Structure 1
Amino acid sequence: MSTERKGAFRVLIAGGGVAGLTLANALEQAGIDYLLLEKRDIAPRMGAYIGVLCHTARVFDQLGVWNRMRDASLGLTGRQHFDEHGRLFEDSGVFKFITGKTKRPFLFLERHFYLQYLYDKLKDKSKIRTRCGVQALTETDGGVAVTTDAGEEIHGSILLGADGIHSTIRQIISDADNPRFTAHYRTLFATSHNHFADDPSRCFLPESMVHNVYYRRSSGVAAVGAPDRVFWLLFVKIDSPATMPNFPQYTEADIEATLRQYGDRSIGAGYTFNDLWASPIGGGMVPMEEGVVDAAWHNKGGCNSLLTATASEKSTINVGLGGNTAVEGVATFMNLLVPLLARNPKPSHSDVPRARACVTLSHYVTRFEAMDTWWLRMLRWLSPWFPDSVKAKAFLDFMKPAPILNFLPDPDRSKA
């Protein structure tokens, strides 16, 4: 079976995650035809969560989903840092400082709701095809054709691979036989109720608070980003780094073994990783891949395909840049596509923004929190002596060049 569309420009999107659904919303508001193919269901419940930084919030404000995200979350206002002995060595006001400057709080929310809000905002749900994976990609006259796992052939003008670094599209475009991603750490991620299992009156953290703890070769973070929800992670350095495609697939037995070794360690004052795991909502363990694909654009013989940040870039999650970088990639792509379509119905090139900078920043923050080297341990000791305003300015400077959607009104100027 073949589904062809002649004439009108149409974007095919492989993947219904952060990048795919953000792109679908942007294309709909720009009046550009598209079809999104997702091999699973939209917004699965998997115990994971995601952060929304201030610059990403501007894009979501343009798309009309920011208020819903903000109202369902608790803006993060405090951050406390603990050493390996459980001592509080820094009580940071950086989040408050940045929120005061940008008028937008940092958010953590469950990934299920994050994706559901993006999906709900779409007016035409017929352009979203679930349980429809992409198996093959071929060139056509002036466009692309993908073959689904059901054998259907679907035609478009351009294909956006937004289905992760292990996807079929990434393998086709960027030569999967040449490993580009490595994992030096694994992370146990989970969402728990914000109270002890044996005493519901005792909370782990105050609302809107983040706790960071630093150990040799491991670290942890916990945040109350929504009512009665602690989003938390345990990062552990892997003895032998793994390289794609030989990343480990962790089981429940692996999680239990990790908690036997690290679970009795404190995150904040008076509670441990095991205490959090005893009040579970959901979670799992994965390797933390790092890397950037150089060949993010494929145009061999007229076959126009592009990898979004979710498929071409992978950063460790300590800073929370992964999903935010994906939104940046969507904004940059749309800012190229919209004016280009006004001049030329067949655009031929784009790029993935700031991927290498985001991966590098995440790389060092992960190692800083795990005190991986002597100089990073020294930096952690010196950290409390730097004013919050200096730290906040560094992050604001990083966010400043992040793009928004140029074809939609700037929400900050509108409010001003």
Structure 2
Amino acid sequence: METLYDSIRDKTRVFERTGVASFSETENGVQVLTDNGKRVEGSILVGADGISSTIRLPAKYRALVGTSRNQFVENPKLPFLARGHMHNVYYEGISGFCVQGVQGLVFWCLFFKEEAWPDPRPASKFTDADCESVITKYGHLRLGTHYTFSDLWQSRVNASMTVMEEGMIEAPWNRGRVVLLGDSVHKLLPLLRRSVSQLPSREELAEAFARYEAKQRPRANICISMSNLAMRFETQDSWWLRLARRLVPSIPEGAWMPFFVEYITSAPRLDFLARESPVGRAHDLKSR
């Protein structure tokens, strides 16, 4: 978003805190009526949604993440984790982990499923009070033999909460001069090639948008499916996932790691971006 904003020379064309009330296609473009009554015209309308999207309000899966000092408030000499250690816990509908990384600090996360949030708001609006309410409800749960989420919360350096719900629009992502991308359809970043035409026709735009969707949708389906499965596994959302929890540790890494490697290496390469670091071994995985 910052890159897009910086590329706009005339900043008067940027309307902050302005929503779209309606839009209509004209012969040569699109006319948008904003929620404050202003009319704006352009060649195309791109729906990209944002971090304060109302679409995320019904999301049930949430994650409270935090960084804490690796010590109890009342006993600074007693650490939560030994150096290089990690704890994972699974309860019904709830899971979490805590890992020691940077000296003196631990990173932790609490995953949970909330059927009905008392005061639904976008993810960017979660407050410390919201986080406190989660700790009040789940803080008694243990991550290790001698500490709980409440202990981590009391020793926190910072913490925040976000939604985890993933989904994707099954209907077409484009129609005429209107196209959806980003969080308005999924969590990936679809990239459109820039047209050499300053004023492309409606037919040319429709063709370009259709190519973009045909190329992006298959991988988006795979990513969303894997993300949903991982999310539901972490929250132990069903009986068979709770059963799988007992089976997964017995499966050797060599059996499932190739699937993750293929998933990663099949992603599009953004070769047109400047490379700030030297090419490493990960870059050559596809060719092996």
Q: TM-score, structure 2 length as denominator?
A: 0.68
SS of the residue corresponding to residue 120 of structure 2 reads: coil
SS of the residue corresponding to residue 197 of structure 1 reads: coil
**Contact 1:296/1:312 (<8 A) preserved:** no
Q: Quote the offset at 1:215 in angstroms.
A: 1.2
Q: Quote the offset at 1:277 in angstroms.
A: 1.0
What is the aligned counterpart of 1:185 among 55, 61, 81?
61
Task: Supply the distance in 2 between the matched residues of 1:207 and 1:217 (Cα, whole angstroms).
Answer: 29
- Alpha-carbon displacement from aligned partner over 1:323-344 (angstroms, at most 9, x marks no partner): xx42xx33xx23xx14x54899
Q: Quote the offset at 1:224 in angstroms.
A: 5.3
Report which of the two has the higher share of strand. 1
In structure 2, the CA distance between the partners of 1:291 and 1:265, relative to structure 1 (3 Å rule), is: same
Q: 2:244 is matched with which residue?
A: 379
What is the aligned counterpart of 1:347 among 205, 226, 238?
205
SS of the residue corresponding to residue 187 of structure 1 reads: strand
Q: Quote the offset at 1:273 in angstroms.
A: 0.6
Task: Supply the distance in 1 between the matched residues of 2:242 and 2:34 (Cα, whole angstroms).
Answer: 50
Q: 1:143 is matched with which residue?
A: 29
Q: 1:174 is matched with which residue?
A: none
In structure 2, the CA distance between the partners of 1:129 and 1:205, relative to structure 1 (3 Å rule), is: farther
Task: Supply the distance in 2 between the matched residues of 1:259 and 1:124 (Cα, whole angstroms).
Answer: 43
Q: Quote the offset at 1:400 in angstroms.
A: 2.0
Task: Supply the distance in 2 between the matched residues of 1:125 and 1:208 (Cα, whole angstroms).
Answer: 48
Residues 1:294 and 2:170 are matched in the alignment? yes
Q: Quote the offset at 1:275 in angstroms.
A: 1.2
Residues 1:303 and 2:200 are matched in the alignment? no
Q: 2:229 is matched with which residue?
A: 364
In structure 2, the CA distance between the partners of 1:150 and 1:237, relative to structure 1 (3 Å rule), is: closer
Q: Pick the structure with greater CA Rg.
A: 2
SS of the residue corresponding to residue 291 of structure 1 reads: coil
Residues 1:160 and 2:46 are matched in the alignment? yes
Task: Return 5+ residue gaps in structure 2 as ranges.
Answer: none
**Contact 1:138/1:303 (<8 A) preserved:** no
In structure 2, the CA distance between the partners of 1:341 and 1:181, relative to structure 1 (3 Å rule), is: farther
Identical positions, percent: 36
Q: TM-score, structure 1 length as denominator?
A: 0.50
Q: 1:6 is matched with which residue?
A: none
Residues 1:275 and 2:151 are matched in the alignment? yes
Q: 1:7 is matched with which residue?
A: none
Within 5 Å, give how 1:1-400 maps onto structure 2: 20-21=1-2, 24=3, 36=5, 129=14, 131-136=16-21, 137-146=23-32, 153-164=39-50, 167=53, 183-200=59-76, 202-205=78-81, 210-223=86-99, 230-238=106-114, 240=115, 248-249=120-121, 255-268=131-144, 270-285=146-161, 288-295=164-171, 297-299=173-175, 302-308=176-182, 310-313=183-186, 325-326=187-188, 329-330=189-190, 333-334=191-192, 337-338=193-194, 341=196, 345=200, 346-348=204-206, 349=209, 350-351=212-213, 352-353=216-217, 354-400=219-265
In structure 2, the CA distance between the partners of 1:286 and 1:292, relative to structure 1 (3 Å rule), is: same
Q: Quote the offset at 1:384 in angstroms.
A: 1.9
**Contact 1:134/1:148 (<8 A) preserved:** yes
- Tell me the number of residue pairs that the alignment of Structure 1 and Structure 2 aligns: 265
In structure 2, the CA distance between the partners of 1:396 and 1:410, relative to structure 1 (3 Å rule), is: farther
- Alpha-carbon displacement from aligned partner over 1:209-241 (angstroms, at most 9, x marks no partner): 654211122111334576765443322333x47
Task: Supply the distance in 2 between the matched residues of 1:269 and 1:143 (Cα, whole angstroms).
Answer: 63
**Contact 1:140/1:303 (<8 A) preserved:** no
Q: Quote the offset at 1:263 in angstroms.
A: 0.9
SS of the residue corresponding to residue 236 of structure 1 reads: strand
Task: Return 5+ residue gaps in structure 1 as ranges.
Answer: 1-19, 25-34, 37-121, 171-179, 314-324
**Contact 1:192/1:276 (<8 A) preserved:** yes
Q: Quote the offset at 1:409 in angstroms.
A: 6.7
Q: Quote the offset at 1:361 in angstroms.
A: 1.8
Asked which structure has the greater RCO (Cα within 8 Å, sep 6+), the reply is: 1
Output the amino acid matched with 2:178: N
Task: Supply the distance in 1 between the matched residues of 2:234 and 2:15 (Cα, whole angstroms).
Answer: 39
RMSD: 4.2
Task: Supply the distance in 2 between the matched residues of 1:222 and 1:255 (Cα, whole angstroms).
Answer: 17
In structure 2, the CA distance between the partners of 1:375 and 1:167, relative to structure 1 (3 Å rule), is: closer
Residues 1:402 and 2:274 are matched in the alignment? no
SS of the residue corresponding to residue 289 of structure 1 reads: coil
**Contact 2:57/2:120 (<8 A) preserved:** no
Output the amino acid matched with 2:250: W
Q: Quote the offset at 1:378 in angstroms.
A: 2.9
Task: Supply the distance in 1 between the matched residues of 2:85 and 2:196 (Cα, whole angstroms).
Answer: 45
